[in-house]
Each structure stands twice: as structure tokens, then as C-alpha cells.
């Protein structure tokens, strides 16, 4: 089952200093944190802040290509997690032809934000994200728990980096 989510926040992990994209279930308090790269965080932050760059960034270029070829993004789905790596699929169509495009979640979300497309996460991915990975230290699990608990309701719905 797919759960519709939105970007709740974009924060920095205080220990690793890496951006963390927090997806939030639109109908409950479930969240999904995904550590992403700096460039991907910047691409997402630009859209969240409504900043238009003088020249198209990569995700803008992709959106422009899709627009020019009349390909519509239906949704993006984070559909798997393996070894702390998340996987996503972009669902699109052109006329009556459907396409499934493999993607990194951060790229899929950056595109979804630019095309106003819904973001979904497979329920199984959320369940797996709550289970400590084999080899994950108790300190890492505790650090993640503290990071997520430190988020305040007002952190959701705005960019914070």
C-alpha cells in the first residue's frame, strides 16, 4: 500500500552535517527521514523557497524536457530500502503510454515538487526504516531518535538548513 506524503522539513544532521529530508504522512504523524546529498538538498530547497535561478538547474531542465515532449509526471513512489539506501520510481505518461523511471528519491522528490506531483512511500519502506539495520550501532539508532524527537511541529512545512 502506498502512503501519500509531503516534504515536512529539510534539516541538517548535527553529527554528520548532512542534509536530512523529512517526509511526513499527510494523514498521521508518521515520518520518513532520508539522508541526501548537498546538491540534492539545494535542488529541493530552491523549489521549497520558490527561488528561480537565472539558468535551469538539472531538475528544471528535466521538467522543461517533459513539458516540451508532453510527458506528465503522475506520481513518485519511494518503493524500496536496502542497506540504508532508498529507491524510487517516477510514474509518468505521454498520451496513452505509461513509463516507470528508476530514480534516487531525492531526484524524484525534486522533480515532484517542480511538477506538483504527489509523493508516495510504500508502507513496507516505512516499516523497514523503523527497524535498525544489521550492524547499526546503538549510538546511531539513539542519534536518529534524538534528531527526530527534536523536531517541533513548526519545523514541518518550512525549509530549515
Q: Are 59 and 112 in contact (CB under 8 A)?
A: no
Work out how many domains the chain is built from and give that number.
1
* Per-residue model confidence (pLDDT) at position 84: 86
* Per-residue model confidence (pLDDT) at position 131: 63
Q: How many CB atoms lie within 10 A of CB 60?
A: 18
Domain that holds residue 59: 2-159
Phi, psi for residue 35 in degrees, rounded to 5 = -75, 130
In this structure, what DSSP letter does residue 7 have? E
* Per-residue model confidence (pLDDT) at position 104: 96
Rounded to two decimals, the pTM is 0.82
Which residues sit opposite 78 in a β-bridge? 88, 121
In this structure, what DSSP letter does residue 131 have? S
* Per-residue model confidence (pLDDT) at position 68: 97
Which residues sit opposite 100 in a β-bridge? 91
Report the chain (161 residues): mean pLDDT per 10 consecutive residues. Answer: 95 89 92 94 94 94 97 98 94 97 97 98 91 56 61 51 44
Residues with Cβ < 8 Å from 66, sequence gap 6 or more?
A: 72, 73, 92, 115
**DSSP helix/strand/coil, 144:** helix
Q: Which stretch of DSSP H or E encloses residue 77?
A: strand 72-82
CATH code, domain carrying 145:
3.10.690.10
Amino acid at each position: 500500500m502506498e502512503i501519500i506524503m509531503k516534504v515536512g522539513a529539510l534539516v541538517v544532521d548535527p553529527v554528520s552535517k548532512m542534509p536530512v529530508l523529512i517526509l511526513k504522512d499527510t494523514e498521521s504523524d508518521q515520518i520518513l527521514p532520508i539522508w541526501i546529498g548537498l546538491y540534492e538538498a539545494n535542488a529541493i530547497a530552491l523549489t521549497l523557497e520558490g527561488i528561480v535561478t537565472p539558468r535551469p538547474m538539472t531538475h528544471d531542465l528535466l521538467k522543461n524536457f517533459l513539458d516540451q515532449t508532453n510527458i506528465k509526471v503522475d506520481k513518485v513512489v519511494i518503493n524500496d530500502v536496502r542497506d540504508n539506501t532508498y529507491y524510487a520510481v517516477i510514474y509518468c505518461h505521454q498520451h496513452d503510454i505509461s513509463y516507470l523511471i528508476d530514480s534516487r528519491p531525492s531526484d524524484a522528490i525534486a522533480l515532484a515538487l517542480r511538477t506538483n506531483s504527489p509523493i508516495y512511500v510504500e508502507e513496507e519502506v516505512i516499516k523497514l526504516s523503523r527497524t535498525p539495520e544489521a550492524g547499526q550501532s546503538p549510538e546511531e539508532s539513539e542519534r536518529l531518535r534524538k534528531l527526530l524527537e527534536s523536531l517541533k511541529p513548526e519545523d514541518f512545512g518550512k525549509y530549515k538548513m
